Structure 1
Amino acid sequence: MKPDHARNMRLIGHSDQGGLRDGIQVMVENGFAYVGHLFSQGFSIVDVRDPKNPKPAGYVAAPPNTWNVHLQVADNLLLVIHGKDVFADAAFADEASYYKASAGAALGTAIPTAEKTWDAGLAVYDISKPGEPRRIGFMPVSGGIHRIWWTGGRWAYVSALLDGFTDFIFMTVDMSDPANPREAGRYWLPGMNLAAGETPSWPASAKFGLHHAIVHGDIAWGAWRDAGLVVMDVTDRSEPKLIVHRNWSPPFQGGTHNCLPLPDRDLLVVLDEAVLDDFEDGLKNIWIFDVKDPANPVPVATMPIPVDADYARKGAHYGPHNIHENRPGTFQSSSLIFSTWQNAGVRVFDISDQYRPKEVGALVPPPPAGMMDKRPGKKPIIQSCDIFVEKSGLIYVTDYNAGLYVMEFNG
């Protein structure tokens, strides 16, 4: 399998995930990859003990109308989100109808009027037997969860959609009894709690909802989509407090997706996600912020955009989607940033000089063999989605249609 473009990187393995080639988040633990699906519901397991020859090793189905797009692995446990399978709904065949509205309005949870047709909450699996998840617990959440940050131990952090709220909010979850996870605290931006009589101060077309937060120490760095960066003090997990809210949309395009702290350098890498086809939502950036004072984050640079092809005109999604998040036990670096750029594949940046980041590696896989995305107008174009870098340096990359790639960076 020959990539369309490669620089200081090479493909070493590929799996079609047992025919369910659509993938969102991937986690690798004890020789097995766990992949959440975008169109196939449920999640798959891939044996990657031989990374040159990864093999499908199982599939766990989701309940009807439910997706398991995001998951986390630690402490021999697998945490999996349950939320509405948005793209199975004909109302969202045009992605803009989801991304240009609040989740509460789009999914009917802001002012609930009907019984939900999907499963909503957080599932917990025992994976002490690698590759063989056994469900042991579940925490219901009225509208569902989008993404989790959990690296083991007592505290997990989720983006939760609750009845009566405009969109996803920040929630702390007590995992001290994995069979019975429970909410500990929550934070939302003023204006999100419709049930309490709050009124949004932002346009109805702006998506002011938490994608997810990365927590280091007692600070949660929240990626709040069109609301930008929300920094929270979680010293008291039962009562998160705002440190600062910074938003650059407008004039920039919004869609903030990841906020990765690099504590040893007092830096924060912030990625704005491209969500629409054919460059409709314009240029999205990966920013570098100086956060010496967490209450005063200052942008100092953006990553360079790919220049080896005209990706803005290639079709499908073009622009950043995800970054490797330096999870404990994985490859960790405060100078190398691994990112996915959808139709522009994978990009690796050296930020040793935070004021002059440079691209030092790239790999664009070939077009997918077939389409898992059956929505009208979708084209067979690579859409590199999530990225996970093992401690060994092996890189695992999912795609909306093309399966799981294993790569290597040689820079």
Structure 2
Amino acid sequence: MPLPPPDHARNIRLIGHSDQGGRPDALQVMVHRGYAYVAHPWSRGFSIVDVRDPKNPGATVYVPSPPNTWTIHLQTHDDLLLVIHARDLFADAAFAADEKVYYTRSVGETVGTAGGARTARNWSAGMAIYDIADPVAPRQIGFFPVEGVGIHRIWYVGGRYAYVSALLDGYTDYIFLVVDLADPTRPVEAGRWWIPGMHAAGGETPSWGEGRRYALHHAVVAGDTAYACWRDGGLTILDIADRAQPKLVTHRNWSPPFGGGTHSALPLPARDLLIVADEAVLDNEEDGRKHTFVFDIREPSNPVSIATLPTPDDADYPAKGGHFGPHNLHENRPGSFVSDTLVFATWQNAGIRVFDISDPYRPRETGALVPAAPERMVDARANRPQVIQSADLFVDANGIIYATDYNAGLSIMEYLG
């Protein structure tokens, strides 16, 4: 089949596309040993796509999730695949009717678990661990259970520890957990940390008021430091040299005056820089113009924002419909494309963007590709526009970009810059 012509392209060329076996919805993507592992938000489960020839993606293997369970984020390293399990919140009437509820209210309070009450659970909560020595035949070997809504996202690049965001009974929203994988068949919690005010069952009271959501999206770890993004709670830098007792180095929050949604951090330790993206979470910039910030972290206790990545302006994206603004960053995982000067990002209805930060004070866009609109809608939420919403991306060691969308399948592209 011919490739769907992109709406816009500059220095990036579309070379392949997959509908992921007829399940074109996806959130996180990992490419490992020639296979793309894509996590579905509405088709429930994950798929494995053969991308050994990225111009001609091959067969797809689908692994369904347990009933009523999200498996929207995953990680791969060596022979392990880690997959989150959580309550399918987009199937909940409160969230499906109005996406604003998900982004502007504490999930623990909305679903009634913040006070510590353990309601009957008809979903799976925790983290599944698979052996993927055979990349298309994942074999579950372990499970890390949690009491609560479940886990949202994972950071794991090998070694003993994984780092997850988890919504446990008794907390207002997702907090930071360290998981010990010394024996991946029997993972155990090693430590936890949260922003004071989140442990409702412990008598803590939020100080941030209504309409704001303090919740860990995820942390990226470099050495003994975790760079954690807390949506409307901003950024924390944590010292995790003692995994059992994470310690706060500093907490920075620029919301207000900015609109919150702090989502993804990309540390560049060799240059003492940190890239931090605030996610656009509401249509037509209702939550304000969102930015991706460049921080100088030479002094970790005092990170200073020195620039923002340029906002795409090659079309009227605020009027296009859907979300316009940053979402995910390519995270320089071991074995993938690693760069201290190029930042790859998804910008939702503005597609995929590449930025050169050789001069961190003057970042410049050097590539863009906006995939075509989805042919059909899989997103089950009410009143969603049929526009591209580029969600996540992974850049392999050869510089090939794999980008997901909520409805439009897997776009495979080559950066020409």
Q: With the length of structure 1 as denominator, give the TM-score of the two structures.
A: 0.99
C-alpha displacement of 1:55: 2.4
Aligned equivalent of 1:154, options 153, 157, 160: 160
* Equivalent position of 1:39 in the other structure: 42
* Equivalent position of 1:136 in the other structure: 141
Which letter maps to 1:138?
F
Aligned equivalent of 2:334, options 328, 334, 345: 328
C-alpha displacement of 1:294: 0.6
SS of 1:210's equivalent in the other structure is strand
Aligned equivalent of 1:350, options 353, 356, 359: 356
- Between 1:194-203 and 1:110-119, the stretch displaced more is 110-119
Q: Distance in 1 between matches of 2:343 and 2:111?
A: 34
Q: Distance in 1 between matches of 2:403 and 2:296?
A: 28
Q: Unpaired segments of 5 or more residues in structure 1?
A: none
The answer (yes or no) to whether the contact 1:96–1:276 under 8 Å persists in 2 is yes
Q: % of aligned pairs identical?
A: 63
SS of 1:321's equivalent in the other structure is coil
C-alpha displacement of 1:344: 0.3
Q: Distance in 2 between matches of 1:59 and 1:196?
A: 41
Q: Distance in 1 between matches of 2:196 and 2:217?
A: 17
Deviations 1:43-74 (A, max 9, x none): 11101011111124211111111010000000
* Equivalent position of 2:213 in the other structure: 207
Q: Distance in 2 between matches of 1:106 and 1:76?
A: 38
Aligned equivalent of 2:131, options 107, 110, 126: 126
Does residue 275 of structure 2 align to residue 289 of structure 1?
A: no
- Between 1:204-213 and 1:291-300, the stretch displaced more is 204-213
* Equivalent position of 1:313 in the other structure: 319
CA RMSD for the aligned pairs? 0.9
* Equivalent position of 2:274 in the other structure: 268
- Between 1:290-299 and 1:190-199, the stretch displaced more is 190-199
The answer (yes or no) to whether the contact 1:15–1:56 under 8 Å persists in 2 is no
* Equivalent position of 1:100 in the other structure: 104
Q: How does 1:20-39 map to 2 (within 5 A)?
A: 20-39=23-42
Aligned equivalent of 2:89, options 86, 91, 111: 86
Does residue 226 of structure 2 align to residue 194 of structure 1?
A: no
Q: How does 1:169-248 map to 2 (within 5 A)?
A: 169-248=175-254
Q: Distance in 2 between matches of 1:376 and 1:67?
A: 18
Deviations 1:202-256 (A, max 9, x none): 1132111100000001110001110100110000001101010000000000001
SS of 2:372's equivalent in the other structure is coil
Which letter maps to 2:68?
N
Q: Distance in 2 between matches of 1:106 and 1:312?
A: 29
SS of 2:366's equivalent in the other structure is strand
Q: Distance in 2 between matches of 1:225 and 1:240?
A: 20
Aligned equivalent of 2:377, options 362, 371, 379: 371
Q: Distance in 1 between matches of 2:268 and 2:380?
A: 39
The answer (yes or no) to whether the contact 2:99–2:381 under 8 Å persists in 1 is no
Q: With the length of structure 2 as denominator, give the TM-score of the two structures.
A: 0.97
- Flag as ranges the 4+ runs of structure 1 deviating above 4 A: none
The answer (yes or no) to whether the contact 1:23–1:36 under 8 Å persists in 2 is yes
Which letter maps to 2:131?
D
Q: Distance in 2 between matches of 1:353 and 1:169?
A: 34
SS of 1:264's equivalent in the other structure is helix
- Between 1:211-220 and 1:51-60, the stretch displaced more is 51-60
Q: Distance in 2 between matches of 1:375 and 1:385?
A: 16
